[in-house]
Amino acid sequence: MTTIEERPPEQQPSAAVDYRPMLLPHPGRTTPVMLEEYRQAGGYQGWEKAITMAPDAVIEEVKSSGLRGRGGAGFPAGAKWGFVPKVDGPKYMVCNADESEPGAFKDREIMEIEPHMLVEGVAIGSYAIGAQDAFIYIRGEYVTAADRLDAAIAEAEQAGLVGGNVLGSGYNLTIRVFRGAGAYICGEETALLESLEGRRPMPRSRPPFPAVEGLYRRPTVVNNVETLANVPHILRNGQEWYQTIGVPPKNTGPKIFCLSGRVNRPGNYELPLGSVTFRELIEQYGGGIPNGGAVKGVLPAGASAPILTADKLDTRLDYDSVQAAGSMLGSASLIVLDETVCIVRAAARMEEFFRHESCGKCTPCREGTAWLHEVLLRLEQGRGSSADLDLLMSLSGQISGKVLCALGDFATSPVTATVRQYRDEYLEHFRLGRCPYDSWAA
Ligand SMILES: Cc1cc2nc3c(=O)[nH]c(=O)nc-3n(C[C@H](O)[C@H](O)[C@H](O)COP(=O)(O)O)c2cc1C
Ligand code: SF4
């Protein structure tokens, strides 16, 4: 293990980035920013501006900003809004506040501390796509966040910012908070819509996509909390200003990185996309690894994206760089694993999660996640063989790309990425006939 001083210059941590957070401007705060304080800081100026513009001009502004969806796939937000057909009848804006990815806790902080920022973003998005009804679908465990959103919506209604005839414009908007019952699959947008309609959350087959046939089979946009929280800033300050943050054209704006696992200072760190590397985030912001330890690997997007090995730590934290390194930035819920962590056990634990959360609609996912978990458990206990590694890869191949939603694909990455990149650690388990980490992790 090398100390920071012994590393070559390109691996030295740079000074902290000079940036003032806008999505979470009050680090450490526990009380919500309510209407008066929010307005004093410029809140709702974006909405007041948007409502004087043509809806298409609002969509253009968001398109030009380069804002990509922060819920996982990084799909351009403005383009998604632009897919909504110009038809008569109801359209819906749905905010995805299900936040169930392991290691993700950014949306929670936005909603608990900055509920009005989200309400403003929902209002602008709804207006842009022509929706008069919006839902914030929040996981049921987020009781504080849901209560604060309800309070913020009530305040905004009282002030004429949402409700009937918003700001005297003739536009009507109702925003409702819907509390889910808690399942990872409810974050998948079509399962979420099923749940919102009162059914069991099982993903729909696509096409049609929600923009065309979503809630109650009407045109619907589903956007993540953090995506919508960016929107007021874009409208207030303009897309050109927004593009100065991050790495234009495809990685613009701020991103909240949820840092957890084996770091000294876990937490939400908001920084411009691409402004720091994994190493800088872990060392400068996360305070490094406990006991001066070394990183063994990083999961960039909770359990859903392939683990990156320590030699990728100098990768920049933006969508394209992380993809080029062999993984996905996803929701940027980074879980750090250090050398005290058994990779086989970590893979088994992640698979247990997917086994439990599979909705069961597709046979390869329902049966395959259970078998992947069983085989990983056997390997972790030192009862496996090299044939099991082939079995894991073959089973993964029978799930990936053969199922209805991305959960099935996500479920294979803890397996395939660890078998490929940490093969020696798997071999060590069956060479010893036990887990080499048993002594510390009993
Ligand atoms: C299994 C699964 C779970 C998901 N969970 C979430 C979630 O908790 N929050 C979220 O915003 N998106 C989640 N997504 C992604 C959504 O389906 C959808 O792409 C997203 O809400 C779109 O918002 P965005 O374009 O603003 O990123 C999940 C996807 C899958 C397949
Ligand atoms: S892939 Fe899994 S979670 Fe997704 S619909 Fe099929 S069974 Fe359900």
Residue 83 Cβ < 6 Å to ligand 1: no
DSSP structural state of residue 349: H
314, 278 Cβ separation under 8 angstroms: yes
Is residue 365 within 8 Å of residue 398, measured between CB atoms? Answer: no
Q: Which residues contact 298 (CB under 8 A, 6 or more apart)?
A: 278, 282, 307, 308, 312, 313, 334, 335, 336, 337
pLDDT digits (tens, 9 = 90+) for 191-232: 999 999 999 999 999 999 999 999 999 999 999 999 999 999
Mean pLDDT of 358-367: 97
Which residue bears the tokens 């969509």? 59
DSSP string, 109-132: HHHHH-HHHHHHHHHHHHHHHT-S
| pLDDT given for residue 317 in this prediction | 97
pLDDT band at 16 (very low <50, low <70, confident <90, very high): low
Statement: residue 338 has pLDDT above 70: yes
Could you tell me the pLDDT band of residue 324, with boundaries at 50, 70 and 90?
Answer: very high
Give kind and range of the element (H or E) at residue 267.
Answer: strand 267-272
- Is the CB–ligand 1 distance for residue 408 below 6 Å? no
Does position 3 have pLDDT exceeding 70, yes or no? no
Rg of the chain taking only CA atoms, in angstroms: 22
Please state, in angstroms and rounded to a whole number, the distance separating the CA atoms of residues 301 and 322.
10
Give yes or no for a contact between 92 and 178, defined as CB atoms under 8 angstroms apart: no
Identify the pLDDT of residue 17.
Answer: 76
Calculate how far, in angstroms, residue 189's C-alpha sits from the geometric centre of ligand 1: 6
Q: Are the beta carbons of 219 and 82 closer than 8 angstroms?
A: no
Half-sphere exposure of 49 (CA within 13 A, CB side): 17
Query: Is pLDDT of 235 > 70?
Result: yes
Amino acid at 122: V
Q: How far apart are CA 415 and CA 392, in angstroms?
A: 7
- Mutational test site, ligand 2, from 304, 366, 396, 412, max ligand atoms within 8 Å of CB: 366
Residue nearest to atom 22 of ligand 1 (CA): 223
Q: For the residues 223-251, what does the mean pLDDT come to?
A: 96
Q: Of 242 and 182, which is predicted with more confidence?
A: 242
Looking at residues 101-106, what average pLDDT do you find? Answer: 97
**Which domains are delineated in the chain?**
35-237 (3.40.50.11540), 256-338 (3.10.20.600), 343-430 (1.20.1440.230)
Which residue has a Cα nearest atom 10 of ligand 1? 71
Distance CA 376, CA 37 (A): 52
Q: Is the pLDDT of residue 292 over 60?
A: yes
Q: Which ligand ends up closest to the CA of 103?
A: 1
Task: Give the DSSP per-residue string, 30-54.
Answer: -S---HHHHHHTTTTHHHHHHTTS-
Q: Is 311's pLDDT higher than 70?
A: yes
pLDDT of 5 reads 47
Report pLDDT for 52.
97
Rounded to the nearest integer, the mean pLDDT of the chain is 94
Is the CB–ligand 1 distance for residue 304 below 6 Å? Answer: no
Report residue 171's pLDDT band, with 50, 70 and 90 as the boundaries.
Answer: very high
User: Do 252 and 66 form a contact (C-beta atoms < 8 A)?
Assistant: yes
Residues lining ligand 2, Cβ inside 6 A? 185, 203, 358-362, 365-366, 403-405, 407-408
Predicted confidence (pLDDT) at residue 25 exceeds the cutoff of 70: yes
Question: Atom 6 of ligand 2 has which residue's CA nearest to it?
Answer: 362
Which ligand neighbours the alpha carbon of 369 most closely? 2
Read off the amino acid at residue 42. Answer: G
- Ligand 1 contacts CB of residue 187 (under 6 A): yes
Confidence of residue 1 (pLDDT cuts 50, 70, 90): very low
Give residue 10's pLDDT band: very low, low, confident or very high (50, 70, 90): very low
Instruction: Calculate how far, in angstroms, residue 405's C-alpha sits from the geometric centre of ligand 2.
Output: 5
Compute, in angstroms, the gap from residue 62 CA to the centroid of ligand 1.
19
Phi, psi angle pair for 226, to nearest 5°: -65, -35
174 burial via Cβ count (<10 Å: 0-12, 13-18, 19+): middle
Give the model confidence (pLDDT) of 254-290 as tens digits: 999 999 999 999 999 999 999 999 999 999 999 999 9
